[in-house]
Amino acid sequence: MPAGCEVFRPYVLRPLTLVAAVAVLAAFIALSYGLGTIGWDAWKPVDHIWLIALGILFAAILWRLGSVRAIATPASLTVRNIVRTRTFTWPEIVGVSYSTTSGQPWPLLDLADGTTYAVMAIQTADGARGFAAAGRLRRLVDTYGTPDGPDN
């Protein structure tokens, strides 16, 4: 990472999903092998391939869930959620809303166009770490998003 970058990642979710992805893939491979060894006539080689492919698909979904992150640079904030990755320049971000008491699972970026965007890299499940990360993100928005910020 270049100097001046800050990376936000989930603390609890990331290792949990990566371990689960490996376990799911191993379970599907073992199941495929096990069903092939019991002598079930309906079980064909193509069934091995499909079952292992299904395990790879589930493992990939878990891996993607664990790979959410937000990368803050002096020029922009890149948010990688489960399905989509978006890059915002700091002036596009008006603020950050995050409330652990309202059941909100992650902070929302308040955007200049009136919409919001979730930052899944910072999570309520991380407790005090998540709250501190949301505070750091707010400070970055305050620093870089203002007209008199370092890059403006």
**3-state DSSP call for residue 149?**
coil
Residues 79 and 134 occupy one common structural domain: yes
Burial class (CB in 10 A: 0-12, 13-18, 19+), 128: exposed
Question: What phi and psi, each to the nearest 5 degrees, are found at residue 70?
Answer: -130, 130
Question: Is the residue at 4 inside a domain?
Answer: no
Query: How do the residues of the chain divide into helix, strand and coil, expressed in percent and rounded to 5?
Result: 45, 20, 35
Provide the domain count of the chain: 2
Residues 103 and 118 occupy one common structural domain: yes
Question: Is the residue at 1 inside a domain?
Answer: no
Strands (E), 2-150: 6-8, 69-72, 76-80, 85-89, 93-97, 108-111, 116-118
Name residue 8's beta-bridge partners.
Answer: 70
Residues 134 and 75 occupy one common structural domain: yes
Model-level pTM?
A: 0.80
pLDDT in tens, the chain (152 residues): 566 789 999 998 889 999 999 999 999 999 998 887 887 777 888 989 999 999 999 999 999 999 999 999 999 999 999 999 999 999 999 999 987 677 789 999 999 999 999 999 999 888 899 999 999 999 999 998 765 445 54
Residues 18 and 36 occupy one common structural domain: yes
Q: Where in the sequence is the domain holding 80, given as residue range(s)?
A: 70-144
